Amino acid sequence: MNSINLIDVRLILPELILGATVLLLFVGDILLPAPEKKKTWLTLLAVLGVVGAAIASVDLLSLMIAYHKGATAVFSGQLAIDPLGALFKVVFAAITVVAICTSLLSDELPDKHMGEYYALLLSICLGMFFMAGANDLLMVYLALELVSIVSFAMSGYRTHDRRSSEAALKYVIYGGAASGAMLFGISLLYGAFGVTELTAINQAMGLWAQTDAAHLGTMSKLFPLTLLCAVTLIFVGIGYKIAIVPFHMWSPDVYEGAPTPFTGFLSVGPKAAGFALLIRFFIGVFVPAGNGPGFLTDTHGIMPFTVDIPLNAVLGILAAVTMTVGNLAAIPQNNVKRMLAYSSIAHAGYVLMGFVVLSSASIQAVVLYLIIYFVMNIGAFTIVQAVRDQTGGELLSDFRGLGQRAPWLAVAMVVFLLSLTGIPPFAGFIGKFYLFAAVVQRNEFWYWVLAVIGVINSAISLYYYMKVARSMFLTPPLDETPIKAGWGYNALALVLVIPIFVVGLYWTPITRSVEASLMLYRSPAATTPVAKQP
């Protein structure tokens, strides 16, 4: 498969649909007259494009399964097309559709350039699609940059707002540094093995691990160090995307300054895509391929070289620090958006805690948690946005008496917040239960420590989530006039509350599909052997 096969084009249909929609949106923005109608048409077009892409990914999957191929790699191994990717793509599409809805409802965005806005949003979605399938260092980098660069523009979308511009600038600076570091890491890894495809790196690394150290001489001492540097630097890039401490500094400012509908999107979309990439990169490179779905059964399946370098420990410490810092920093926040920014840092910590275990149960828990987290977090941002539109502010004091002024929105907010805390019978509890179950299942000293830190953090997070509930229900309103948020917000809140309850009470279908998507991931029969680069 050295040359580009035209059949491959068929396999990237979802991405093509998205790309075409982006172009159509730009064109439509210029050509369509009449502002009011234009907004409706463009919204419809954007939603159709995203939904079409999601359908195409699922359709592709059934096509591959029909041909007894669970997974394949296209364009010389640049992109993996497999069930795990398809699942993530459906989730990303759902996130984007919700983001389109919140953008439509929002007062913060100028009506004039909605086509441009949607086009940028869909470009990020396209980038996330590529992230979910990236199977080559080059693709990893390009996909990540596509998401990042468009995100910079979106954060500063409110050009006349100082905070929005500040957010964009901070985002650019951090993003530039992170992607520079990542590129350096990638070049080190390429220098070490001479290949960029993840599967090929994995094989080369396996070969090296088996070779007697004597053959390599002094190289054998330096080599693990080189690898560690490479991995660390690449992790900087991914860690920045998922906002892991210490690469999280940008997120509170960006979350606060960016337009709220985009903040909601940013807190779930790129984060989930970052984790998808983390799974692809980390497992793709460090877990021996021979394990097949082996990493699903063998919990110790990391490449032997990492014995000297406790990668698990490094990630575990980062997870513990991330959740603790996120939660503690959220406590004093007075701005609900900023508080939710810290809370989403903490949630990245929980997910990373699950990821560290690197067992089948834990990867399943990670994917499950990301899906549930998307619904509850974007739900919380939706309510913040509704309150902001009506009261003009997003401080805790703006939420005062919301239980009286807009009972339904307040109740929905409580549901989202408690789900984020992880209290049954809401979906968030199920997500956390699976994460903690995966950690406890390992039953080793440090995993127990990690689990205890995790649950204590859950208890801490209750305090700041309930601060919002207290404002809404326990303190008398400053202004008693009822808030009329419009049916759009109320309906959207309902649409997001329902899955929280349903998944909280019966989650078999969702865990089944997550499990099914992971079953085929990296199974030996499913991966097409790819010719090495000379």
Partner 1 sequence: MAFDTYLLTLMTFIPALGALAILGLRALEPVVNRSHTRMTPVAYRWVAIISAALPLIFSVRLFSRNFWQGVGGFDPTGGVQFVHRFVWIKEFNIEYFMGVDGISVSMVILTALISFIAVLASGSIKKKQVGYYSLFLLLETGMMGTFCALDMFLFYVFWEVMLLPMYFLIGIWGGPRKEYAAIKFFLYTLAGSVLMLLAIIALYYVSRPMAGISLALVDGTPTEHTFNLLKLAELGQAGLFAGAAPILGFAFTKVIFIGLFIGFAIKVPMFPFHTWLPDAHVEAPTPISVILAGVLLKMGTYGMLRFNWSILPDATKWAAYGVAVFGTINVVYAAFVCMAQKDLKKLIAYSSVSHMGFVLLGMAACTPQAISGAVFQMWGHGIVSPMLFLIAGVIYERAHTRDIEGFGGLASFMPEYAGLTGFAFFASLGLPGLVGFVGEAMVFIGSWGAPAPMGTGYRTLVAISALSVVITAAYYLWTMQRMFLGRFNEKWKDLHNSLTLTERLTLYPLAVLILYFGIYPMPIFELINPALHLLARIVVGTPSA
Which residue, 26 or 433, has its beta carbon nearer to partner 1? 433
Helix axes 260-278, 360-391, angle to 10 degrees: 170
Which residue, 126 or 414, has its beta carbon nearer to partner 1? 414
CB burial of residue 303 (10 Å; 0-12, 13-18, 19+) = middle
Which residue, 100 or 346, has its beta carbon nearer to partner 1? 346
Give min distance, CB of 467 to partner 1, in A: 8
User: What's the distance, Cα to Cα, between the start and end of the chain in Å?
Assistant: 13
Give min distance, CB of 332 to partner 1, in A: 15
**CB 136, CB 77: distance < 8 Å:** yes
Restricting to residues 387-426, name those near partner 1 by CB under 8 A. Answer: 414, 418, 421, 423-425
Q: CA-CA distance, 367 to 245, in Å (whole number)?
A: 21
Give min distance, CB of 297 to partner 1, in A: 14
Closest CA to 291 of 385, 395, 202, 230: 202
Q: CA-CA distance, 249 to 345, in Å (whole number)?
A: 10
Give min distance, CB of 463 to partner 1, in A: 6
Look at the chain and count its residues: 534
Residues 6+ positions from 119 with CB-CB distance below 8 Å: 22, 25, 26, 29
Which residue, 234 or 380, has its beta carbon nearer to partner 1? 380
For residue 395, the cross-strand partners are 335
Closest CA to 171 of 96, 106, 116, 249: 249
| Span from 72-80, 268-276, 329-337, 510-518 in contact with partner 1 (CB under 8 A) | 510-518
Does 507 participate in binding partner 1 (rule CB under 8 A)? yes
Restricting to residues 441-500, name those near partner 1 by CB under 8 A. Answer: 441, 443, 445, 448-449, 451-452, 455-456, 458-459, 462-463, 466, 469-470, 473-475
Restricting to residues 429-448, name those near partner 1 by CB under 8 A. Answer: 429, 433, 436-437, 440-441, 443, 445, 448
Total binding residues toward partner 1, as defined by CB under 8 A:
36
Dihedral, 471, 474, 480, 484 alpha carbons, nearest 10: 60
| Span from 64-72, 309-317, 428-436, 518-526 in contact with partner 1 (CB under 8 A) | 428-436
Give min distance, CB of 246 to partner 1, in A: 26
Which residue, 224 or 424, has its beta carbon nearer to partner 1? 424
Give min distance, CB of 438 to partner 1, in A: 9
Which residue, 441 or 490, has its beta carbon nearer to partner 1? 441
Which residue, 221 or 512, has its beta carbon nearer to partner 1? 512
Which residue, 269 or 504, has its beta carbon nearer to partner 1? 504
Assigned token pair, 70 = 């669970």
Q: CA-CA distance, 264 to 20, in Å (whole number)?
A: 25
Q: What is the largest CA-CA distance in the chain?
A: 79
Which residue, 112 or 512, has its beta carbon nearer to partner 1? 512
| Span from 108-116, 222-230, 479-487, 503-511 in contact with partner 1 (CB under 8 A) | 503-511
Give min distance, CB of 448 to partner 1, in A: 5
* DSSP assignment of 356-405: HH-SHHHHHHHHHHHHHHHHHHHHHHHHHHHHHHHHS--BGGGGTTHHHH
Assigned token pair, 441 = 């299942």
Cα 60-63-67 angle, rounded to 5 deg: 140
To which H or E segment does residue 72 belong? strand 72-74
Which residue, 213 or 459, has its beta carbon nearer to partner 1? 459
Give min distance, CB of 452 to partner 1, in A: 7
- The residues of the shown chain that bind partner 1, judged by CB under 8 A, are 414, 418, 421, 423-425, 429, 433, 436-437, 440-441, 443, 445, 448-449, 451-452, 455-456, 458-459, 462-463, 466, 469-470, 473-475, 506-508, 511-512, 515
